[in-house]
Amino acid sequence: MRKSNIRAKITAGEKAIGFGITFPSVELFDIVGYLGFDYAHLDAEHGEFDFGDVEDMCRVADMHNMTCTARIPNIDNSTILRFLDRGIMGILAPHISNRDEAEQAAKASRYGPEGERSFGTGRGRDYGLGKPPAEYMAGFNHEMVLGVQIETAEGVEKIDEILEVDGIDYIAFGPADLAQSIGHPGDAGHPDVEAAMESVRKRVRGAGRLMSEDVMDAMNFVMWMPPLLEQWLENARSSS
């Protein structure tokens, strides 16, 4: 049974340390694995991954005992199923604005009785080897970690009903899209956006639930590497 480092950290009251990318690179995942990260995250909403890429990157992550997670492009049952069947152990569901959407993501992410995920024998199920189906399904339901992303004014307004849905492990933000939704495109730092996010944090923690920042901390390669390269290039040009 594949274990989730994120689930283990949640249980211990600690944060999982991760690394995220928006393009397929098994070599980069290999390096990150040797460095000892707890998890590696694929941004498959904005990235360019096909399912072959996802499966290969899950293989590399498993080789290093590194949990592989993904932000998915949509919450269709078939989309979530195919990511999980490749070996993904954590799903971040984008653009969750109400109870119905939260329930859809939650039910698609786990087997019964908690959910409605279809049972298959692909790589995510270790090709049908190992534990008997019922034991595997119960184990997977425990290890699986689901986050939902609040990115709209409706999501902020309806956070209480979203929190009533079973199977959600943490709440995350999409600040840029939230800024657009409440009338401040391109200004994720606007006071109205900050106030909206703080109101969500208070409701979440007041309900005894977790925010993403309570659960994990991740370095995003695309956000981190370009500024570093830009600074290096500026220094190299100035010294030449």
Q: Contact, 139 vs 1, CB < 8 A?
A: yes
Locus of tokens 């709209």: 152
Task: Determine the number of helices (DSSP H) and then strands (DSSP E) in the chain.
Answer: 12, 7
- State yes or no: is 46 an active-site residue: yes
Output the six-digit token pair for 193: 């956006």
What are the start-end ranges of the H helices in 173-220? 175-181, 191-206, 212-215
Q: Please, which residues bridge with residue 218 across strands?
A: 18
Q: How far apart are CA 41 and CA 4, in angstroms?
A: 13
Q: Contact, 117 vs 81, CB < 8 A?
A: yes
Q: Contact, 122 vs 129, CB < 8 A?
A: no
Buried b (16+ CB within 10 A) or exposed e, 93-111: bbbbbbeebbbbbbbbbbb
CA-atom Rg of the chain in angstroms: 18
For 12, phi then psi, to 5°, come to -85, -5
* Catalytic-labelled residue, pool 46, 64, 95, 190: 46
At 26 the three-state DSSP class reads: helix
Q: How far apart are CA 188 and CA 168, in angstroms?
A: 25
Q: Which positions are annotated as active-site residues?
A: 46
